[in-house]
Amino acid sequence: MKVNGTHYRSLWWDEDKGALQIIDQRWLPHEFRIQQVDTLKDFADAIVEMRVRGAPLIGATAAYGMALAARLDPSDENLQKAWEYLDKTRPTAINLRWALNLCRGHLMPLAVEDRAEAALRLAHEISDEDVDINYNIGQHGLEIIRRIAAGKSSGEPVRILTHCNAGWIATVDWGTATSPMYQAHDNGIPIHVWVDETRPRNQGVLTAWELGSHGIPHTYVTDNAGGHLMQHGLVDIVITGTDRTTRSGDVCNKIGTYLKALAAQANKVPFYVALPSPTIDWSVSDGVAEIPIEERAEQEVTHIQGLTPEGTIGRVQVTPNGTPGGNPAFDVTPNHLVTGLITERGVCKASAEGLAELFPDLARLAKSA
């Protein structure tokens, strides 16, 4: 996508510098900063501190981390150490381990002297594949929006509610939940997006920044406004992303997603989840019982970052001194609340049968593992 007229991916390999470049998302939407990632600690810090965030982008970043490890020391022992080091950074988003396992499984059978080149090539392939996957997600989601638009008066927008940021900066490009929005807009379908603020960290501002840069009409609302908007017929469809999806169709996403799904069901608003296939965890069936929920620092709840009147980025405390903050980063939306899953292969029911029908190869592979 474009920033100030220049096309960017969320991460890219600089051939001249021989190093990965990332957009440091901690400063968005007020400052656009690029960081070079030089060491394995830099990779881990980028993931933990959410300089990069979003399940697909974390996976791609980890792949480049493994490529760095292979360049420095391609031995079995060092690759395993790198795998373990990066795997500990964030426990919930399954794309991280998916990418790490893919890299390890690809590199270990190779001759040691061939691993560095192969690792970098694989990281490039994972990144390029993510772009293609997200574009195709958008193509399938576009048809859902097109059907809703067909039932509206001429010029009346399709009103979409989204939560958190499942946009191009949460992936390598296009995004998951936002890809259908971009493609609907680019195809001349009028849309208006209700953007949840998504506390803590207010990741809705990232979505607002993205949509505004693309010229898509949108309104930034508090997390608790979604139910009210649905109750008054102001939402036609909810589309969110997911950080891990079980083989039965439960979806784990940013905290607050579950409440949106409950409100959508109560008000008969279709609730869709957009996801790339690497986000499916075929080893897990019951998301509520089996998915580990990351508990992040309480300061993300007790403090808030923003632009000061002086034009600098600052952080202020919003709680009384001594009040602790609880910060579960994700929740799980059971499959019965999900209207459908929008994937790169099409749209399916949020169920074991629906996913297996769309991804029979992956389902068989998981069953035999």
Q: Which residues are catalytically annotated?
A: 243
**What token pair was written down for 170?**
């949460």
Burial pattern 294-321, b for ≥16 Cβ within 10 A else e, equals: bebeeebbbebeeeeeeeeeeeeeeeee
- C-beta atoms surrounding 258 within 10 Å: 18
Is the separation of the CB atoms in 40 and 71 below 8 Å?
no
> Using CA atoms, how far apart are residues 158 and 235, in angstroms rounded to an integer?
8
Closest CA to 29 of 276, 202, 264: 202
Closest CA to 66 of 33, 35, 37, 26: 37
Is the separation of the CB atoms in 242 and 55 below 8 Å?
yes
* Sheet of 34-37, strand order: 11-14, 19-23, 34-37
Closest CA to 133 of 189, 185, 56: 56
What residues contact residue 84 under an 8 Å CB cut-off, 6+ apart? none
Radius of gyration of the chain (CA): 20
> Using CA atoms, how far apart are residues 360 and 101, in angstroms rounded to an integer?
21
CA dist 192 → 117, 211, 224 (Å): 45, 10, 18
What residues contact residue 271 under an 8 Å CB cut-off, 6+ apart? 237, 238, 240, 260, 261, 264, 265, 337, 338, 339
- Backbone torsion region of residue 222, taken as left when φ is above 0, otherwise alpha when ψ lies between -120 and 50, otherwise beta: beta
